[in-house]
Structure 1
Amino acid sequence: MRIKSPLYNSRKELDIARQAIDGMRCAQSFIQFEQAWQDFLVRLERAWNKTKDVFSDSQYAPWRGQHEHMRNSDQLLRYLKQARDAEEHTVCETISKELGGIGINPSSGNSLHIEHMTINRGKITIRGAKPGIAVTVYLDRVKLMPAISRGVVTLPPEEHLGQPFYGTNPMEVAEAGLIYYERMIRDAMPRFGIEKEKERGQAP
Structure 2
Amino acid sequence: MHPAAVVHAQRKLENAERALHNLRNAEDFSEIEREWSAFLMALGTIYTKLEQGSKLNNVSRGWFDQVKRERREDKLLQYLHQARNAEEHGIEDITSRNARILRQPLKLPNGKTAELRISLPAGPEDLQLSEDGNETKLFDGLQRISSTVALVPVKNHGTIFSVPDEHLGKPFAPVDPLAVAEAGYDYAALLVSTAKAFSELN
Which bin holds the TM-score, normalised by the shorter protein?
0.7 to 0.9
User: 2:7 maps to which residue?
Assistant: 8
User: 2:130 maps to which residue?
Assistant: none
Structure 2: state its 5+ residue gaps. 118-143
TM-score w.r.t. length of structure 2: 0.75
Judged with a 3 Å threshold, the aligned counterparts in structure 2 of structure 1 residues 135 and 166 are, in CA distance, closer, same or farther, namely farther
The secondary structure found in structure 1 opposite 2:91 is coil
User: 1:65 maps to which residue?
Assistant: 65
User: 1:162 maps to which residue?
Assistant: 169
User: 2:154 maps to which residue?
Assistant: 147
Displacement after TM superposition at 1:125 (Å): 4.6
Query: Structure 1 counterpart of 2:85, which letter?
Result: D
The secondary structure found in structure 2 opposite 1:148 is strand
The secondary structure found in structure 1 opposite 2:155 is strand
Displacement after TM superposition at 1:134 (Å): 9.0
Judged with a 3 Å threshold, the aligned counterparts in structure 2 of structure 1 residues 127 and 161 are, in CA distance, closer, same or farther, namely farther
The secondary structure found in structure 1 opposite 2:27 is coil
User: 1:184 maps to which residue?
Assistant: 191
Q: Distance in 1 between matches of 2:89 and 2:4?
A: 32
CA deviation profile, 1:70-91 (whole Å, cap 9, x unmatched): 1111000000001011111111
Aligned length: 171
Structure number with bigger Rg: 1
Q: Distance in 2 between matches of 1:41 and 1:50?
A: 15
The secondary structure found in structure 2 opposite 1:56 is helix
Query: Structure 1 counterpart of 2:190, which letter?
Result: R
Structure 1: state its 5+ residue gaps. 104-121, 198-204
Identity %: 29
User: 1:28 maps to which residue?
Assistant: 27
